[in-house]
Structure 1
């Protein structure tokens, strides 16, 4: 499995870069921006074809963009003044994954529940219900276990909801995208290395084109 991780540090003085990371529709804008770094004509689902997952992260030096992909991005396609970027292979990290290894994890995800038709009618619920609090924590624990991780600690922080128009033209220009986001991070031990590699590659949950689903891990010191 070959995956690439790119860190982009946007130029604080370049207006397009700041719009990509600070506007409410930033997840939608970033999706378009990052997909422009890959070859055209990849089919109906270019994001899945190139394994593109991404998120923004607040750091002491400002907001950074993390991009993971199965195809090395062409950074020369970024506007010249967009910012600085560097790409590295995740192969050494993925090769080091083993059962029982303690890791730190982070994932910005879209925790939701889809009530059945009877429940929706009875309680007047929408088709998709965003989860918060303990319900979001429970959702994450199930996702983590299904990804080959046994969570040990968890810190969940609600983030701004990504929303905006799906596209610029035709019916897409009338379709509103909304994805509630929560950042989950903590420590875990690896229970299934192969499953974990697959989930890192595929991402977790909904909203992957809009900055959700990227699962990152790093080795952690064992405790006890």
Structure 2
């Protein structure tokens, strides 16, 4: 059964500060916590939402197993009371057409550049402009069974809260990924497609903290129940 896990990470911890400076380190730690004997083999989703003004960061993980608290303690100084995990399927089964949810997604929006050479495969690059990042999400939303409602300004209820290039070292080389954090409201069009997006992620670079979509109930809306 799929597990949804929330982990509170103390930004004042020396171990945690060191880990949070590199996506490669975070990827390795999470892989080991999920399968210590075969690190990196298990496909999982995760996202680190950094706290503000010294408040704890929140690490979310969707995986087939509950993360090993011993690994998280050794690498991130996480205690038993800092981690909460539950089965994900009961929440997924409650999704219905027409429900509206608040959402957050950290994604790696990309596009393919057509090669000038005939017969040669195009090159995939990150999307850096915010208007194009929003267009990318709109295309993905149709594939994933939801849409962003239009507000009174005739704009989708979504914003790019943080857009930047993220660099890290992998096997001796520098990797650069485009990162966009989306916050907004979505309406469910196809629950089955949305469940697939929540379990499998949206976009590329999922092993490095991208693609995990999380939902929360809207204030005053009792139709949806608890979030994830």
Please report how far the alpha carbon of residue 108 of structure 1 lies from its aligned counterpart in structure 2 after TM superposition.
0.2
Structure 1 gaps of 5+ residues are: 120-124, 167-171
Matched, 1:117 2:121: no
Query: What's the RMSD between the two structures over aligned residues?
Result: 2.3
CA change 1:77–1:40 in 2 (3 A) is closer
Alpha-carbon separation, structure 1, partners of 2:12 and 2:185: 36
Query: Does the 8 Å CA contact 1:145/1:151 hold for their aligned counterparts?
Result: no
Matched, 1:154 2:158: yes
TM alignment of 1:64-213, pairs within 5 A? 64-80=58-74, 82-83=77-78, 84-118=82-116, 127-152=124-149, 153-166=157-170, 172-173=171-172, 175-213=173-211
- TM-score for both structures, normalised by structure 1: 0.81
CA change 1:194–1:160 in 2 (3 A) is same
Please report how far the alpha carbon of residue 187 of structure 1 lies from its aligned counterpart in structure 2 after TM superposition.
0.8
Report the structure, 1 or 2, having the larger helix content: 1
Structure 2 gaps of 5+ residues are: 150-156, 223-228
Please report how far the alpha carbon of residue 126 of structure 1 lies from its aligned counterpart in structure 2 after TM superposition.
6.4
SS in 2 for 1:118: coil
**Number of aligned positions between the proteins:** 203
